[in-house]
Amino acid sequence: MADEPNKMRAEIRARQAEDGKKAMAEYEASAAATRAKTEKLRALRLAKEAAELAAPKPPTKAKAKSKTAKKKKVDDGKLSDWLEDQTDSGRNS
């Protein structure tokens, strides 16, 4: 009678050990797949960066000044001038 609980515990421990081995194998396979995928993506990124550095860059176009840069500046700072400027810009109030 005392042997039955010991046998059951031994069977449970054996199953747990087997499950642990399977889980560890799955974990290691997943880690290896992740490392392989990372290496592949790194190689692709480095190749792309090397190609970008080797390719001649197109000439850049001069940027046009924005409308806000063309606004006239009010030197005297009168409220009436400011209100007139706001009306001219399309504001109603």
Q: What is the pLDDT of residue 65?
A: 64
Helices (runs of H) and strands (runs of E) counted in the chain: 2, 0
- Is residue 59 in some structural domain? yes
- Is residue 93 in some structural domain? no
- Is residue 27 in some structural domain? yes
CA dist 85 and 91 (Å) reads 9
Q: What is the pLDDT of residue 74?
A: 45
Residue 64's domain spans which residues? 3-88
For 46, the enclosing helix (H) or strand (E) is helix 3-54
CA dist 8 and 46 (Å) reads 56
- When divided into structural domains, the chain yields a total of 1
Q: pLDDT digit string (tens) for 61-80?
A: 877 666 655 556 546 678 88
- Is residue 84 in some structural domain? yes
Residue 42 has, within 13 A of its CA and on its CB side, a CA count of 6
DSSP 2: -
Token representation of residue 25: 């194998």
Flag residues of the chain having pLDDT under 50.
74
